[in-house]
Amino acid sequence: MSAVRIEDFETACTALQNAFRTEPSYWYLACKLQDKPLSLAIDSEENIDDLTRNFFTHYHDNGAHIMQSGNYATIAIWVPPEIDVPMSRTSDESFNKIFFDNSLAVKQRVIPQGMKYYYLFMIGKDPESPVKGSVRSMFENYIEIADRERIALVLEAISEHARDVYAHFGFVNYNTFHYGIGEVSASGQLDSNGEGHTGYLMVYLPK
């Protein structure tokens, strides 16, 4: 099994929608990064799917590598170092500090000066697909590229489970960050006393 560029836009988009539809931490990030009210994500699955399509279309149209493995079982959006996909700062400056400013500082500290990196914006395994091993195939493909080209891989894990999966492939957590505190509960509901969510900025450095 290998990771290859997608040929079917709709199939790939649907797979990502299926993967993220029930993930509350993603709801929060999707609304924030698109400057939408947090209540939007709670209202309906259709709203979540629309937000995912917005991401997918934006990265696709700006030249990111949209990859699939396992016959569209796993979809990943990789931004190679030679591509600049614009991502505007949000209207929430506290979020900007957490997600943009602090993350940039960590990357500058961790990644050796002059070393380029691939950024994994999204990766999702379609829960409706019976194919096994597609996530492994995706990561093994890019780890081979990283080691061969002496290039880093960077991502944010938005759950403990995801963090542990990425750690298995050699990614190291360099920054545990918290977002949505006082805005949402762990289940994604609006809550002024909510504990929010925890994320992890992880980097793979070439061997």
Please, are residues 56 and 77 in contact by the beta-carbon 8 Å criterion? yes
| Residue pLDDT, tens place only, 29-54 | 999 999 999 998 777 889 999 999 99
Q: Output phi, psi for 88, to 5 deg.
A: -70, 150
Structure tokens at 182: 């006082």
- What is the pLDDT confidence band of residue 180, given thresholds at 50, 70 and 90? very high
Is residue 10 within 8 A of residue 53, CB to CB? The reply is: no
Smallest Cα–Cα separation from 119: which of 155, 149, 83, 166?
155
For each of the domains in the chain, give its residue range(s) and CATH number, in order of start. 3-204 (3.40.630.30)
Helix %, strand %, coil % for the chain, to 5? Answer: 40, 25, 35
Is-contact 133 1, C-beta < 8 A?
yes
What is the rounded (10 degree) CA torsion for 66, 60, 125, 87?
110
55 to 36, 78, 98, 151, 192: CA distances (angstroms): 13, 12, 20, 25, 27
pLDDT at position 116 over 80: yes
The tokens 């950024």 sit on which residue? 119
pLDDT at residue 20, rounded to an integer:
95
Report pLDDT for 44: 85
Q: Is the pLDDT of residue 133 over 90?
A: yes
